[in-house]
Amino acid sequence: MNSSSNPSQVDAVICLDEEVYRRLREVIRHLCVGLVDVNARVRLISAYAQTESLSIGPVQTIVHQELSWPFRQKRLAQIIEALAVRKPTVIHAFSHGSYWLAQGLAAAFDVDLVVHLTSFDDIDELLGVTSDHLRAVIASTNTLETQAAEISPKMREAVRLVRMGFLRTERPSCFLREDGLPTVACTADFDQGNGVPELIRAVRILHDRGHELLLFLLGQGKQERELRKLVHQQEAAAYVTFARPRAETNSVLGAADIWVAPTSEKTLTSSSLAAMATGTAIVACSDGVPDHYVDGQTAIVCADPSPRNLAEAIESIILDRNGARTVGAQAMDYMKEHHSVSAMAEKTMAIYRDISMQGRTFSISEKPNNATAS
């Protein structure tokens, strides 16, 4: 087994599943580039072939076969063999779909394990991480940090807050033309409980009130047929358009005036960050994973996302375009202060280096009084 030419250099293997790639592709790309800039070596590993698009410069992507029964252990061994050409110094699981793989790699190479939290599902699966190599848990928002810390006293010591970074545009995108027809974008997947039916009804309410606007639904999922039927029933086909999601979220939102998250978000997505980074006027819901929605400052927040409440929030933006531009600019300033790409990479690198010097383990599943350090 060959080691890195520089023993002090961090060699990170980041494990991804398809779900987190689809949600956070742009953020992960920014993180990889940022880590390389601060002198880390980065390899990505996933069963999802599209992750090859993240192979930028020195960032290498390894695509493996699905870790399904009865070939799970055999395929894990193949992955270990592929990585053994250069032994990693840290394994980083980016979502719960890669927790099992990451634990196996950390054990095989006897190196540190870092677990990332970007959704409520990640919190639910955190107790299943039993690896003796677990050193740190990265929470992407205050909400996730608080929930992780409540699991146990030792978890409270291990969790670190690192907000996700995103590149900002030069000026707010909302209402660049004073006389332009308002354009609303929604990037929610077409699944049960996504809030899109409520948004369609909200836009119908706005048209009944005399507001002309266009709604673009950029998603996909099992509920698409029912949503198209609802648009027909609401006689809204003239101003509601279905479109497939595009790879670059910020390019989509840069052409929109308003972005709507029509239900409480259980996951963190590139879309919510891109909406902030492009200065799009935002209508969002409370009690979700994101902590970057500050009502009246960076977004209009609905406590109850009923069709009428969503309609009123969107209407308040349409009727006060100068105010919407101000909120969009404040959102961009917030991103600059709290969500810079360089800060994300530097804080992640600091965690990698810090845990390598700690040399201690903890178990989430142990009772606090029985926990031991090694």
Residue 250 pLDDT: 64
DSSP line for 2-67: PPPSSTTS-EEEEEE-HHHHHHHHHHHHHHHHHHHHTT-EEEEEES-GGGGGG--TT-EEEE----
The backbone torsions φ and ψ at residue 359, rounded to the nearest 5 degrees and listed phi first, read 60, 35
Q: In this predicted model, what pLDDT tens digit does every residue of 42-85 receive, in sequence order?
A: 999 999 999 999 998 899 999 999 999 999 999 999 999 999 99
Give CA–CA dist 323/210, Å, rounded. Answer: 21
Tell me which of 25-29, 179-183, 228-232, 315-319 is least confident. 179-183
pTM above 0.85, yes or no: yes
Enter the tokens of residue 351: 């965690």
Residue 244 pLDDT: 77
DSSP line for 142-200: HHHHHHHHTS-HHHHHHEEE-PPP----SS--TTSSTTSPPEEEE---SSTT-SHHHHH
For residue 364, is pLDDT > 70?
Answer: no
Catalogue all structural domains in the chain, each as residue range(s) with its CATH number.
11-165+340-370 (3.40.50.2000), 183-338 (3.40.50.2000)
Q: In this predicted model, what pLDDT tens digit does every residue of 143-166 receive, in sequence order?
A: 999 999 998 888 888 999 999 999
* Average pLDDT of span 92-109: 97
**Mean residue pLDDT across the chain:** 90
Work out the angle between the directed axes of helices 307-319 and 196-208 (0-180°, nearest 10).
Answer: 50
Residue 9 pLDDT: 83
Residue 369 pLDDT: 40
* Average pLDDT of span 334-361: 89
Residue 4 pLDDT: 43
Q: In this predicted model, what pLDDT tens digit does every residue of 174-226 receive, in sequence order?
A: 998 777 899 999 999 999 889 999 999 999 999 999 999 999 999 889 999 99
Is 143 within 8 Å of 267 (Cβ atoms)?
A: no
Burial 334-371 (b: 16+ CB within 10 A, else e): bbeeebbbebbbbbbbebbeebeeeeebbbbeeeeeee
Give CA–CA dist 244/225, Å, rounded. Answer: 14
Residue 243 pLDDT: 85
For residue 249, is pLDDT > 60?
Answer: yes
Check the CA dihedral 193-199-202-208 and report its sign.
negative
Residue 253 pLDDT: 75
For residue 326, is pLDDT > 60?
Answer: yes
Q: In this predicted model, what pLDDT tens digit does every residue of 287-310 receive, in sequence order?
A: 899 999 999 999 999 989 999 999
* Average pLDDT of span 11-15: 97
Residue 374 pLDDT: 33
H/E stretch holding 274 reads helix 270-277
Q: What Rg value do the Cα atoms of the chain yield, rounded?
A: 22
Confidence of residue 368 (pLDDT cuts 50, 70, 90): very low
Is 21 within 8 Å of 49 (Cβ atoms)?
A: no
Residue 371 pLDDT: 39
Residue 176 pLDDT: 85
Is 28 within 8 Å of 21 (Cβ atoms)?
A: yes
Q: In this predicted model, what pLDDT tens digit does every residue of 211-224 receive, in sequence order?
A: 999 999 998 899 99
Task: Provide the CB-side half-sphere exposure for 171 (13 A, CA).
Answer: 4
Enter the tokens of residue 313: 């929030």
Whole-number percent of the chain with pLDDT over 90: 79
